[in-house]
Structure formats: C-alpha cells, structure tokens
Structure 1
Amino acid sequence: RSGRSAALRARMEERLLGARFRYLNQQLYTGSSRDAARLFRDDPAAFHLYHRGFERQVRRWPERPVQRIVRYLRRRPASLVVADFGCGDCTLAASIKNQVHCFDLVPLSPRVTVCDMAKVPLAAEAVDVAVFCLALMGTNLQEILGEANRVLKLGGTLLVAEVASRFEDTRAFLRAMTQLGFKTVSKDLSSSYFYVLEFAKTGPARPGPAPGLRLRPCLYKRR
C-alpha cells in the first residue's frame, strides 16, 4: 500500500512539474528578454525547475545540439574567445579549452554571469564567437541578436542551434540576418529536431525593422 501511495505521489509531482515547466516556457517565449530576467530575478527557484523540464525534453532527442557546437569549436583554435548566450549549466564552457563568457538569467554554475541577453557586460568587439544554443527566446530577437553583433569582432562567428519547428520561413530569417550585419556561412537543416546555422559578422547592424526575423514560440503540449 505504501508503495502505491509513493508511486501516486511521484506521478502527481511529475504532472505538477510538467505543468509548471509549460507555464514558464510560455512566459519565456511570449515575453521579452527583460521580462524573463525579471521573472527569474523574482523567483530564482523557477529557473531551476524550468531547466529540469528542459533537460527532460532534450533527452528525448537523438543528439544534443550543444554537442554539435562543442565539436565545431574543438576544430577551431583554442585561442578564440567565446560568448555563450543562455548557457544553462555551462556544458559548452566545460567541454572546450577556449575562454568562454557564460551568460544566463540564473547561475546554475559559478561560471555564469547573470544578465539580460540583450545587454551583456562585454565591451564592443570583445569576442570571436557568439553562441545561441536553444537560447533565442523572447519577443525582442532583433535586440538580442544586435547585442551579439555588438560584442563580436568583425569577421567573427555567430552559431545558432534552434528547434527546427520554430522556423516559419528559413530563407526570410537568413535574409533578415543580413540586415543585422551577418552573412550566412553554412546551414545544416538535415535534422527534424534542430537546425544549426553559422554566420559571419560583416559589419554593424543596420537600423530599422528586419522583416523575416521571426521564430515560432517553442510551446510543449501536455502529455
């Protein structure tokens, strides 16, 4: 009997975790990066719960996108300085020899600098590589990617790994990136789970709206 009670309690806790994760996930994708920073500043425990739910989702995939980024950077010089936007538990920084500036909304690791992804504490043209691995959240995408442009050196690399189903129009998205000062170097659209895009910084972002810079919210259904 006690075994059945424990199993029932575990199922209830699992459902509550799932419901809370879906709620937090919706807030992250339908609000701005400033809203997200405020949400987790007021309730840091919510970020830990969100990260647990996120890890459960990604474990179902045949490959973790961060491992693709790790393999890419291991083939490049270790002298390159990297900025990891939305770094989570700093898997990337722990897996490569490069200096990595780790930014996120809550510190899951002592390496993390807590900040809004649209306003990171780096000087202009301070890094060689900027990374967004499942981290392009928020309604102010142009502002966030503009910040990546600001901190990247001219000719620097922007790596984006993002859920495939979020792209409404991949060609329009890539065209919009040119207005933000990036040219497409390579794109891997072969996975049904996530895409990996590589850009090079060609200059500063141009002012004005960037039509086509749209990603669908990544909303999870109740199972």
Structure 2
Amino acid sequence: MTQEAGGRNRKRKRRNNHPKTETSSIKQTSTSTAAANSTVKQPPSTCTVSKTTPKPLSFLEKMKAKLAGGHFRMINEKLYTCSGDEALNYFKDDPSLFNMYHTGYQEQMSRWPEQPVNIIIKWLKDHNSSLVVADFGCGDARLAKGVKNKVFSIDLVSKDPSVIACDMANTPLDSSTIDVAVFCLSLMGTNFPNYIQEAQRVLKPSGWLLIAEVKSRFDPNTGGADPDRFCQAVCELGFTSVSKDFSNKMFILLYFKKKPKNNSRKGIDWPELKPCLYKRR
C-alpha cells in the first residue's frame, strides 16, 4: 500500500469516528432531558414536608398554668371537705372561684377516655324524652344541652339563666315532680347524704336515681367506701338498687329506683366517701 493510500484510509477512519461521537452525545443529551422531565413530573416526596410542631410554652405561660392548677386543687379540696352550705357561701364571697374551679375540672376531664355524663345522656336518650330530670351539681349544664328532656340544672353558682343556684340539700323544686335525679361526680360535700335525701323528696314514686362517682372513692383497699354498704344506705332511704356498673376504669355508675311507697328509715349509717384530691406537683 502506498503512502497516499494509507493517508486516505486514515482520513476515512477519522470521518467514520466523528458521527459516532456526535450520535453518542445526542443520545446522552436526550437521556438527560428525559431524566429532567421525569424529575419534574414526580410528586414531591412526603418526607420533605415539614411537620408543624407545637410552640413551646414560655416561662410566663408555664407559671400561669401552674398557678391555675394550684388554685383548682385548692378549691377542689375545699369542696370535698366542707358542707354544701359552706361551699355556697364560699362561692358567694368570690364568684370568680367557680369559673376557676370549672376550668380546672374540664381540663382534668379532658384526660379521661370516657366521661360519665355522656353515658347518662345516652341512657336518657334510650328512655322517654318526656321524663323530667333534675341534674344536681350540673356544672356547665352539659346534660341539659345534650337531651330533649326538660332538665332542672342545679349548682352552687349560676352563670346561665337556666341554672338554679342553691345548696343542693335545699332546692326550690316541688316534692314528687321529678322522674330522674342525676348526681354526676357531684357528691362532694361532707353532708352528701342530705343531697340524696333531697333527691328522694323531689322524685316521683318509682322515679330514677342515677349516681356516677370517681371509682377510687368506692375502693375499700385505698380508703374508699364499701360500695355495697353505700348502696344499702341508699336503699334504706327508700330506693331499690337496680344495677351497678364497675366496668369503667375511672368511675362507677349506680342505678336506683324510688320505692312506690315512702318507707325510708331514720338514722341511716352512711359510709364516709373518700375525698377525690389531686396530687400537688
């Protein structure tokens, strides 16, 4: 082969190599473009979405919460260790304490997985809506707001025109006019038997008495009252025990019916109910 022919062959090889390089470059560019398009079309990854974290409480907010909790525990202890008449005067002297107490009470109730007032509301809805109800220690009158029944809401202080403010041992209700008397976590005073006696007075013959109370108050192993002894005392007042529900972790439910004839006994030996006091932090 001559030198001239060898040169032509080398040139031909160079020309053949050049298109291959260009094609490879085009393919690489196309691949990059497709990858870019693919990236744009993909939905944003959920892991990149930032979660909103609750704003930490400031020192002042923490102190306010601590003071509010301390006031609630103080008022709560007062209500469990005084008579109803004393509690009435206590709130008359400073009505703002009532709001302070119920704010703390609602905060405590929010921690319970289930609230007894909801069970009582369901019980009433399962019965005739014509039944007249007296809610002793109604608080924010949630029971009255949850049913169609006529409800007399009774408590020590009235922040609502529908709530009757009075000592629960001496209500303005007429005798034998109520179908259902309710005590939902409200047997707090040292003279709680007087509250139940008042319920017995206003109830019609064969009327219902529903009591929901904190479970620890009826645990003899921790200083609480014997539930059987308590039920016996209620029956001696003129009631028949219908059922007892101890299934809930936080509270018990007791259902009674007033006897058709008023044959209540005097000098009933009532057990002392353990105060429900919250630990200081």
Class of the TM-score when normalised by the shorter of the 2 chains:
over 0.9
1:40 and 1:124 mapped to 2: Cα distance? 27
Q: Does 1:61 align with 2:94?
A: no
Paired letter, 1:209:
G
State the TM-score, normalizing by the size of structure 2. 0.75
Bigger fraction of residues in helix: 2
Q: Does 1:215 align with 2:270?
A: no
Task: Measure how far apart 1:106 and its partner are.
Answer: 1.2
Q: State the match for 1:187 in structure 2.
A: 244
Aligned length: 220
1:217 and 1:78 mapped to 2: Cα distance? 34
Q: Does 1:81 align with 2:138?
A: no
* 3-state SS of 1:174 partner: helix
State the TM-score, normalizing by the size of structure 1. 0.95
Bigger fraction of residues in strand: 1
Ranked by relative contact order (alpha carbons within 8 Å, sequence separation 6 or more), the top structure is: 1
Q: State the match for 2:233 in structure 1.
A: 176
Q: State the match for 2:146 in structure 1.
A: 95
Q: Could you tell me which runs of 5 or more consecutive residues in structure 2 were left unpaired when the two chains were aligned.
A: 1-54, 219-224
Task: Measure how far apart 1:207 and its partner are.
Answer: 4.7
1:23 and 1:209 mapped to 2: Cα distance? 33
Paired letter, 2:241:
T
Specify whether residues 187 and 179 from structure 1 end up closer, same or farther in structure 2 by C-alpha distance, changes over 3 A only: same
The worse-fitting range, judged by mean Cα deviation, of 155-164 and 178-187 is 178-187
1:221 and 1:121 mapped to 2: Cα distance? 36
Paired letter, 2:234:
M
Larger Rg: 2
RMSD: 1.5
Q: State the match for 2:93 in structure 1.
A: 42
* 3-state SS of 2:58 partner: helix
Q: 1:200 aligns with which of 236, 254, 257?
A: 257
Paired letter, 1:70:
I
1:96 and 1:11 mapped to 2: Cα distance? 38
Q: State the match for 1:165 in structure 2.
A: 216
